[in-house]
Each structure stands twice: as C-alpha cells, then as structure tokens.
C-alpha cells in the first residue's frame, strides 16, 4: 500500500487570519482508500484544513494538493471530492428532495438508488424545506449526500450534530458497509472519538494549528498506559518516561505514560504495587491536547 | 474491544477462540474480512490485518477466488501456543497474588484441588 501515490499531500501549510494563526506549518500525506480521523479541540484548525483541501480557502504559506493538483477552482479535482460541512446553507424554499435531485450535477459517482435507500433508513422527510428540518434531520441530509455521492475523497466535518445514537450507528454501519464495497478516501472530523475510533485506520490530531499526531490508529491504541499507586512509587516508576498527565488524590497518584510498556516494566510495576490500566483512545487524545496552554477558541473568531 | 491492545490482534484471538470452541471447524470457511469488519464495527483494513496474521501463522489459508479457510491442525497449533502462554498469563499472576495474600504454596495446591472437585461435582449435577 505504501507504494501508492498519496491522494492528499499537504506541505508546510499555514493559514493566518489577521493576527490569528489557524494552521501552522502542517505537513502530511494520505494514501488513497483509507478512513482517516481528523481530531482536535474546537479551534484546533480542523475546519480550516478541510476548507483548504476543498479549495474554499487559500494558504498563507505552503500548499495543499489533492490528486497531485491544487484544488482551488479546479473542477477536475473538485468533482472527485465531497465536503459535508455542518454549516452548509441552502436557499430559501429549497426542500430536501431538491438537494438530492441536484446532487448528480456535483458528484460524478452519485448513486440515486442508494440515496433513496438512505432516506428511508434515516427517515428523512423529503418535501420539507431544508431550513425547517431539525438539526438532526439536516445532519442526516448531509450524511446521505456524503455517502451516496461516493466521491473518491469524501470529507465529513462533524457530520452528525443533533443525530441521535441510533442514527449515528446507522451512519457508522452504512459507512463501513459501503466503504468495504467501494473503497474511497474518507476524512472524518469528529469529537465523538470513542464512537469512531474502531472505524479509523489512520489518525491526524491538530492542536492549536499544529499537527500533533499523524499515525496509524493501531499504533496509537495501547501506546499509553495509566499507572496508579502510592505517589512516591508512581513517580519513581515514571522517572525518565514521558508523562502526559498526572492526577493526585491524597497520597495516591495516577500518571499517563506515553510509550508501550515492556513485560519487564510490568513486572517492575507489579513489584512496586502499581496498577497498570490501558488508556482509551479518547482519553489519550484528551491528555495529548490538554498539555498546552488554552487559548480563546479560534472558531468563534473566524466563523460567524 | 479492549482498549489496550491493537484491534487486529484481538480479531485474530477471537477467530482462534472460535476455532478452539469448535464454532469454526478445520477445513471450514471463515467469514470474509468485510463480514468481520461489519460484525465488529471495525475498519476493514484492520480486520484484514487480523486475518493475515492468522494466515502467516498457518492457522488460516486462502483459496483464491473462494475465501479463507481454517487450516488442518490449526486447533492443535493454537492449543500448544496458548498452553505456553497459560503459565505466563494465569499461573505467574496467581502465584504473585497468592504471595501478597500470604497463601502458602501448600495451601495454594490444596485450594486448586478443592476447586477442581467442586467444579466436577457441579458438572455432574447439571448433567
């Protein structure tokens, strides 16, 4: 798989809005046909990055290339892409069925029969004005367009605001089933990390505009451990290791340690009466992105 | 899925468990990578990695254009490997816990014997 040309190639990408740096020197490549998670806190730069990839914004420095080309006003590239954003607005009077009828103009691989099937699954009222749909129904519409569009590069930005748990699982199941039959590159930005972590093959984590992580989901899983016990014992065990997080309760301490523990480490920990527990995917991301000093949310400055 | 370990390893283990329990028989076909992915709600590439791990170990083999099958002798191979792990994963921790609770080695073997007899008795009763 490593021999394939990357479908997305980002080099030294930066974006500055007046004095706010939304993206700082971000570089990565994505191989085709993987499901990649784009994770990070609000204002980390996720939406800015996705807008660059879909040609809706311009880099201040560096480049973003899709299929080896600049996506800005490049219809050959943009026809192969689908960007489902939570803030998509439709004209007044536009009904859900109008969105689905117009979709084949934008997406070369549009599958109308699949879209109909999904309308049933998500119970989407077709003859209602999009603006009058509930938040969850609007998200369902976006999800249907994103899935039935079958674009070789499909980007979902928080696709399921307002979707209930049943609808979200319908989305995950449908995404997996359809991806298995028709592999394509899917970039999924979300806060519901625990729900999607098993779907992801690769993970990108942004924090304050910088790319913090770019690695396979499998290598991330189990790459940190929580060690708990008497504070003194915990600290001597943690010495010389990278500590992501530390909590204390009276004389007890819990630290999150980065890096896989060897069996010798485990024996040493057991001998010192320390308890070792795996750190969940979501907890690991939270620990990684709470280290740095918080700044005012960029999203509120830049959008709306 | 357990958080601490790579999912592909866990998938491989579950297939092994099914072979041990007899749910999957030798020379029988196993579900496809995509079927595993759908069933466990995981990425198909991850499921594929788990299946390939078992192919490398000679537990499963591929028949071109048909699918994946359980190799002859797979059950024995899994059992042999798991027996080696048994000491490391079960016996050693048990000894450590027994030591920290002050259970003498003699008492420990006695406890095991008693437990064995009890489980044999309940097995007879349920029959």
Going from N- to C-terminal start, the domains of chain B cover: 7-72, 89-126
Are A240 and A207 in the same domain? no
Domain count, chain A: 2
Are A40 and A88 in the same domain? yes
Q: Contact at 8 Å (CB) between A288 and A244? A: yes
Task: Look at residue A59 and tell me whether its pLDDT is greater than 60.
Answer: yes
Task: Sort out which chain B residues have CB atoms less than 8 A from A219's CB and list them.
Answer: 6
What pLDDT shows up at residue A271? 82
Q: Do A198 and B49 touch (CB under 8 A)?
A: no
Are A76 and A109 in the same domain? yes
List average pLDDT for each run of 10 residues in chain B, which is 127 residues long: 81 95 94 92 93 95 93 94 88 86 91 91 78
Are A185 and A231 in the same domain? no
What pLDDT shows up at residue A3? 54
What is the enclosing helix (H) or strand (E) of A62?
A: strand A61-66
Q: In terms of residue numbers, what domain contains A256?
A: 223-278
Q: Do B37 and A180 touch (CB under 8 A)?
A: yes
What pLDDT shows up at residue A268? 85
In a domain, A72, yes or no: yes
| Interface mutation target, options A30, A169, A196, A218, chain B, most CBs of B under 10 Å | A218
CATH number of A85's domain: 3.40.50.300
Q: What is the mean pLDDT of residues A203-210?
A: 94
Q: What is the largest CA-CA distance in chain B?
A: 59
What pLDDT shows up at residue A206? 94
- Among A64-68, A270-274, B13-17, the range scoring the smallest mean pLDDT is A270-274
- From the options 1.10.10.10, 3.20.20.80, 1.10.3720.10, 3.40.50.300, give the CATH code of B7-72: 1.10.10.10
B38 touches chain A (CB under 8 A): yes
Write the pLDDT tens digit of every residue in A176-190: 999 999 999 999 999
Q: Which residues, in sequence order, are bridge partners of residue A20?
A: A17
In a domain, A137, yes or no: yes
CATH number of A253's domain: 3.30.70.2020
Give the neighbor-by-neighbor strand order of the sheet with B29-30: B29-30, B67-70, B60-63
Q: Do B43 and A221 touch (CB under 8 A)?
A: no
In a domain, A1, yes or no: no
Are A124 and A104 in the same domain? yes
What pLDDT shows up at residue A292? 52
Q: What is the mean pLDDT of residues A51-76?
A: 93
A-B CB pairs within 8 A amount to: 61
Tokens encoding B42: 């995981």
Most confident of A193-202, A268-277, B3-12: A193-202
Most confident of A150-154, A213-217, A260-264: A150-154
Closest CA to A179 of B11, B71, B48: B48
B123 touches chain A (CB under 8 A): no
Please provide the DSSP assignment of A39-89 as one string: E--TTSSHHHHHHHHTTSS--SEEEEEETTB--TT-HHHHTTEEEEETT--
């Amino acid at each position: 798989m490593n021999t394939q040309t990357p479908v997305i190639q980002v080099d030294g990408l930066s974006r500055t809005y007046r004095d706010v740096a939304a993206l700082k020197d971000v570089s990565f490549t994505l191989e085709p046909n993987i499901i990649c998670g784009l994770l990070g806190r609000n204002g980390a730069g996720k939406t800015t990055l996705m807008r660059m990839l879909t040609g809706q914004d311009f880099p201040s420095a560096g480049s973003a290339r899709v299929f080896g080309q600049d996506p800005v006003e490049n219809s050959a590239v943009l026809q192969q892409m689908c960007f489902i954003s939570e803030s998509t607005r439709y004209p007044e009077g536009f009904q859900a069925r109008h969105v689905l009828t117009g979709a084949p103009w934008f997406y070369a691989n549009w599958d109308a029969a699949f879209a109909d099937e999904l309308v049933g699954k998500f119970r989407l009222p077709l003859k209602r004005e999009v603006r009058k749909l509930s938040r969850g129904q609007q998200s369902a519409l976006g999800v249907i367009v994103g899935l039935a569009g079958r674009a070789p590069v499909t980007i979902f930005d928080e696709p399921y605001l307002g979707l209930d748990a049943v609808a979200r699982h319908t989305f995950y199941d449908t995404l997996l089933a359809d991806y298995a039959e028709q592999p394509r590159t899917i970039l999924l930005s979300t806060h519901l990390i625990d729900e999607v972590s098993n779907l992801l093959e690769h993970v990108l984590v942004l924090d304050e505009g910088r790319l913090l992580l770019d690695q396979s989901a499998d290598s991330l899983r189990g790459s940190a451990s929580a060690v708990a016990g008497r504070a003194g014992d915990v600290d001597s065990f943690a010495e010389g290791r990278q500590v992501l997080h530390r909590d204390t309760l009276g004389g007890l301490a819990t630290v999150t340690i980065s890096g896989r523990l060897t069996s010798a480490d485990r024996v040493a920990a057991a001998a010192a009466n320390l308890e070792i527990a795996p750190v969940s995917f979501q907890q690991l991301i939270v620990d990684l992105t709470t280290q740095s000093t918080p700044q005012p949310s960029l999203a509120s400055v830049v959008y709306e | 899925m357990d958080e601490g370990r790579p999912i592909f390893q866990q998938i491989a283990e579950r297939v092994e468990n099914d072979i041990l329990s007899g749910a999957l028989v030798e020379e029988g076909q196993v579900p496809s990578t995509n079927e595993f992915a759908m069933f466990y709600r995981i990425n198909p590439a991850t499921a594929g990695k788990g299946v390939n791990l078992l192919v490398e170990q000679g537990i499963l083999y591929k028949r071109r254009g048909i699918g994946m099958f359980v190799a002859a002798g797979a059950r024995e191979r899994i059992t042999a490997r798991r027996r080696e792990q048994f000491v490391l994963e079960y016996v050693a921790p048990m000894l450590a816990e027994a030591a920290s609770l002050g259970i003498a080695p003699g008492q420990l073997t006695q406890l095991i014997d008693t437990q064995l007899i009890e489980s044999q008795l309940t097995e007879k009763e349920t029959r």
